Amino acid sequence: MRKNFVSSLPVQKFSLWDKMIAKRIPFSFDLEVTARCNNDCPHCYINLPAGDKKAKKKELSLEEISDIADQAVALGAFWCLLTGGEPLLRDDFSDIYLALKKKGLLVSVFTNATLLNEEHIELFKRYPPRDVEVTVYGVSQKTYEKVSRKQGSFAAFRRGLEMLIENEVKVRLKAMALRSNIHEFDRVISFCREMTKDYFRFDPLLHLRFDKDPEKNKAILAERLSPEEIVALEKSDPERFQSLEKNCDNLITPGCSHALCNHLFHCGAGNTSFTISYDGLFRLCSSLWHPDCVYDLKKGNLADAWMNFIPGVRDMRSDRKEFLETCRICSLVNLCLWCPAHAYLETECLDAPVDYFCSVAHARAAALQKG
């Protein structure tokens, strides 16, 4: 029987986080309640059309979601993220949300806010979410709808966001830096920080599709910024750049980053959290779709996936010389998007270097050295 490396470390020296890892207790889980979305953003790694009947038919039912949540709570989880696709597309979203809240879970929601209505607001006021995180694609109709590719979506987004803020629902904002919105990204940053003082994040790094759709992957590649553009954007935002300087050494859980070995996984994936796809597939993290790293909950149960399946995945190793002599020992790993999950999406191999990720990491490192 494989033994998880972390479980052999001295528990008395661990933080609360490390103790959860050592005891195999899940802290949280992501629940993708649908892959469908009412927008059609070119950079998205998961979205399917809102009316996709095949995708809708495969979605977990309310009863199945409730059962999975019961299993998660029994294992120790206390926080759930509802995401998609666009979760508010589900006709039974309110029932799903209430079911999770009544189990005692903290619940977060990721949404584009365009489908928010009075029923959702009343639900959130009566049973407050941990937070509702809204994506901002642009601050002008032209830019926003160039990204969303849906007429009228900008007005719907503004209406939904204003409803959340006016009703004092805890809102967090995020944005993706894209070829389609980079020309007004300084305004996006200003808008987000003015609208909510609590929290804002942006991401300039795009990874490829979970379903490997070649045409949609071409669209994602077309939206990627160059390494030089990414660094210029990050340097133009003092808060972001200072965060890179402060935290670039703290992105990997220390207890999981054991050196001088050929393990693939040195991140925290599957240590205190997991992800469930809209059709019931268990993964260590949202990006990990390699067939050897996916567990079908319709053929098993969450306890088996958590206690027995994850340690086997985390024990996966590589003998690829190119990987062991580059990414595995690279001192810039915390400035890089590379991980086994993203490597698989890019190359269909868990242990292949990705030139674009490497170029971004080196450009960031050079910028940090210059200060």
What is the spatial distance between Cα 39 and Cα 136, in angstroms, rounded to a whole number? 13
> Is 189 inside any structural domain?
yes
| Domain of 87, in residue numbers | 5-254
Instruction: Answer yes or no: is 295 within a domain.
Output: no
Peptide bond into 85 cis (omega under 30): yes
Bridge partners for 174 per DSSP: 135, 201
| Alpha helical stretches, state H, the chain | 16-22, 53-58, 62-75, 93-102, 118-126, 141-148, 153-166, 185-195, 214-223, 227-236, 238-247, 302-304, 310-314, 321-324, 340-347, 355-370
Buried b / exposed e along 161-172 (16+ C-beta atoms within 10 A): bebbeeeebbbb
- Which residue do the tokens 């990491």 mark? 361
Q: What is the pLDDT of residue 22?
A: 56
Question: Is 144:157 a contact under the CB 8 Å cutoff?
Answer: yes
DSSP letter string over 253-274?
-GGG---SS-BS--S-TTTSEE
Instruction: Report residue 275 as tokens.
Output: 């992800």
Residue 243 inside a domain? The answer is yes
pLDDT for 10 equals 36
Please give the pLDDT value at position 216: 97
Domain total of the chain: 1
pLDDT reported for residue 13: 44
161 found inside a domain: yes
19 within a domain of the structure (yes/no): yes
Q: Is residue 294 part of a domain?
A: no
In this structure, which amino acid lies at residue 171? V
- Count CA within 13 A, CB hemisphere, residue 56: 10
Sites in the chain below the pLDDT cut of 50: 1-14, 17, 251-253
Q: Yes or no: say if 354 and 279 are a contact pair by the CB < 8 Å rule.
A: no
Q: State the CATH number of the domain containing residue 17.
A: 3.20.20.70
| Separation of alpha carbons 93 and 278, rounded Å | 13
The answer to whether position 347 is within a domain reads no
Q: Any idea which residue has 């003998």 for tokens?
A: 319
pLDDT at residue 335, as a whole number: 87
How confident is the model at residue 9, as a pLDDT?
Answer: 32
Q: How far is residue 232 CA from its own chain's centroid?
A: 24
Q: What is the pLDDT of residue 249?
A: 57
Three-state DSSP class for residue 366: helix
